[in-house]
């Protein structure tokens, strides 16, 4: 399979390159040249296909090269063997025509484990085949950093440095990273905000000579393999319920919900994808009005969705505008210059065929957590509560699956505030509460970060 940039001015690349790449050199994002099709007849005929093998089937369609199939299957099996529920992505009924898809049974209790646990060993293998190494540099506001540490710890060809804003992430989020004993992992607390940490990473990457010398790499949510790996749970859900489904997806950077679109393009019967947003509602506004315009970011109870520029949305814009890179270049230039773009009417109509959207207020999120707990005894984390609230845009008799993106114990304060119950951390993670932490502190200064990288 070949991958092309949404902006059309970078050469096509293959699977191995896409494994190791961030954005395309022209600033666009890589997408597959065409949509590979799942053999739905064969898949629906199989009785007990393991989740890991399903995920490998999806990924192998993007590899194209049989030399990769065995490695993909091997790493997928090893990755999902670490989950604490053998069903990997179990479904739970939440009432008539309503289900929860629990994506929090991985090592760090959020759905990001689904992609990163597979991506990390595949990246490592691609580096080994090229006889080289990489230094992954990442800034995190919480969940991504923890998932990256868990996935990259001990990978022989990769080192990881994670920056988090000092004192601005939860204790559990910090401890999930700083208690790692892996010698290839370093944590840095930056004296600044998350935006400062992200700007530092960008500044260091922008120094091309430095980036090449230290073999800097990224694992952010625009990596195509992350999206492809996530498409597998939309497929597994269909195979479990065997009817066309609508999914409600708590959305920030548009990676997860776009993975649902990918599953649909590959042949999974999906009716609608509901983009559930919190107060940071750029996507809900875009779908309602056709104008994609950024505003200031609001802090909410669902911090992983406090995003006003959804990177992966560019991939849907590309699809909806007939995969025309010239149109994309215009739109993205308009957005970069003015903070706003106008989606073409035909494209908007196409998007509305596959997507609906809803914006959920904080009060509604809290009310949903409270109500679901009262009626069914289930604790929802605040992100999942946004998703479940947004199912109101579907018809009552429409079969809707809410994607549960995090375990309630990851956000204990919000859950306790809404329900009066403090969710307990699963047994297997309790050790992090008392384990020693390893973390360095740096000022908000690119020169200090460069010096640190060079010295380590």
Ligand X SMILES: *Cc1c(COP(=O)(O)O)cnc(C)c1O
Three-state DSSP at 361 gives coil
State yes or no: residue 252 binds ligand X (CB under 6 A). Answer: yes
Q: Please state, in angstroms and rounded to a whole number, the distance separating the CA atoms of residues 105 and 80.
A: 9
Residues 6+ apart with CB under 8 A from 323: none
State which of residues 105, 112, 168, 321 lies at the interface with ligand X (CB under 6 A).
112
State which of residues 140, 223, 405, 419 lies at the interface with ligand X (CB under 6 A).
405
Residue 181 C-beta: closest distance to ligand X, Å: 24
User: What are the backbone angles phi and psi of residue 221, rounded to the nearest 5°?
Assistant: -75, 0
Q: Please state, in angstroms and rounded to a whole number, the distance separating the CA atoms of residues 189 and 211.
A: 21
Per CB under 6 A, contacts with ligand X among 374-393 are 383
Residue 394 burial (CB count, 10 A) = 20
Q: Which helix (H) or strand (E) holds 161?
A: strand 158-165
State yes or no: residue 254 binds ligand X (CB under 6 A). Answer: yes
Q: Please state, in angstroms and rounded to a whole number, the distance separating the CA atoms of residues 367 and 383.
A: 13
Q: Which stretch binds ligand X (CB under 6 A): 66-74, 125-133, 163-171, 253-261?
A: 253-261
State which of residues 198, 251, 354, 389 lies at the interface with ligand X (CB under 6 A).
251
Cβ distance 362 to 306 under 8 Å?
no
Q: Token pair for residue 209?
A: 């000579």
State which of residues 36, 165, 250, 423 lies at the interface with ligand X (CB under 6 A).
250
State which of residues 178, 221, 365, 368 lies at the interface with ligand X (CB under 6 A).
221
State yes or no: residue 277 binds ligand X (CB under 6 A). Answer: no
Residue 66 C-beta: closest distance to ligand X, Å: 30
Q: Please state, in angstroms and rounded to a whole number, the distance separating the CA atoms of residues 402 and 390.
A: 9
Residues 6+ apart with CB under 8 A from 333: none
Per CB under 6 A, contacts with ligand X among 296-335 are 304-305
Q: Token pair for residue 452?
A: 């640190």
Q: Please work out the total of residues on this chain that contact ligand X, with binding judged by CB under 6 A.
A: 16
Which of 2, 50, 82, 112 is labelled catalytic? 112
Three-state DSSP at 127 gives helix
Per-residue contact string for residues 116-155; x = within reach of ligand X by CB under 6 A: ---------------------------x------------
Is residue 272 among the annotated active site residues? Answer: no
State which of residues 406, 414, 429, 449 lies at the interface with ligand X (CB under 6 A).
406
The residues that touch ligand X, with contacts defined as CB under 6 A, are 110, 112, 143, 221, 250-256, 304-305, 383, 405-406
Please give the positions annotated as active site.
112
């Amino acid at each position: 399979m070949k991958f092309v940039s949404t902006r059309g001015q970078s050469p096509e690349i293959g699977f191995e390159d896409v494994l190791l790449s961030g954005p395309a050199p022209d600033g666009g994002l890589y997408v597959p040249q065409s949509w590979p099709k799942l053999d739905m007849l064969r898949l629906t005929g199989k009785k007990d296909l393991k989740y890991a093998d399903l995920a490998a089937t999806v990924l192998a369609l993007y590899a194209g090269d049989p030399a990769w199939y065995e490695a993909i299957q091997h790493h997928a099996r090893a990755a999902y063997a670490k989950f604490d529920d053998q069903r990997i992505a179990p479904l739970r009924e939440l009432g008539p025509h309503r289900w929860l898809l629990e994506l929090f049974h991985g090592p760090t209790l959020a759905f990001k484990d689904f992609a990163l646990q597979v991506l990390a060993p595949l990246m490592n293998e691609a580096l080994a085949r090229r006889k080289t190494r990489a230094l992954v540099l990442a800034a995190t506001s919480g969940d991504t950093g923890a998932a990256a540490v868990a996935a990259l710890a001990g990978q022989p060809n990769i080192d990881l440095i994670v920056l988090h804003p000092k004192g601005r992430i939860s204790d559990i989020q910090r401890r999930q990273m700083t208690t790692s004993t892996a010698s290839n992992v370093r944590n840095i607390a930056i004296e600044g905000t998350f935006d400062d940490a992200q700007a530092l990473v960008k500044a260091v990457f922008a120094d091309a000579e430095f980036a090449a010398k230290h073999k800097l790499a990224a694992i952010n949510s625009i990596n195509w393999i992350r999206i492809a790996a996530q498409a597998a749970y939309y497929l597994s859900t269909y195979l479990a319920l065997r009817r066309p489904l609508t999914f409600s997806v708590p959305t920030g950077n548009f990676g997860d919900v776009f993975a649902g679109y990918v599953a649909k393009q590959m042949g999974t019967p999906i009716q609608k994808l509901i983009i559930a947003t919190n107060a940071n509602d750029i996507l809900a506004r875009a779908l309602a009005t056709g104008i994609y315009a950024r505003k200031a970011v609001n802090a909410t109870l669902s911090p992983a969705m406090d995003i006003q520029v959804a990177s992966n949305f560019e991939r849907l814009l590309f699809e909806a505008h007939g995969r025309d890179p010239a149109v994309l270049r215009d739109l993205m230039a308009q957005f970069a210059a003015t903070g706003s773009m106008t989606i073409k009417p035909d494209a908007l109509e196409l998007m509305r065929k596959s997507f609906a959207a809803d914006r959920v207020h904080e009060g509604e999120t809290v009310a949903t957590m409270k109500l679901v707990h009262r009626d069914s005894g289930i604790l929802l984390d605040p992100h999942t509560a946004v998703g479940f609230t947004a199912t109101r845009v579907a018809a009552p008799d429409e079969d809707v699956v809410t994607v549960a993106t995090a375990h309630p114990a990851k956000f204990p304060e919000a859950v306790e505030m809404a329900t009066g119950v403090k969710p307990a951390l699963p047994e297997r993670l309790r050790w992090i509460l008392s384990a020693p932490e390893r973390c360095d502190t740096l000022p908000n200064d690119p020169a200090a970060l460069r010096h640190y990288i060079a010295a380590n």
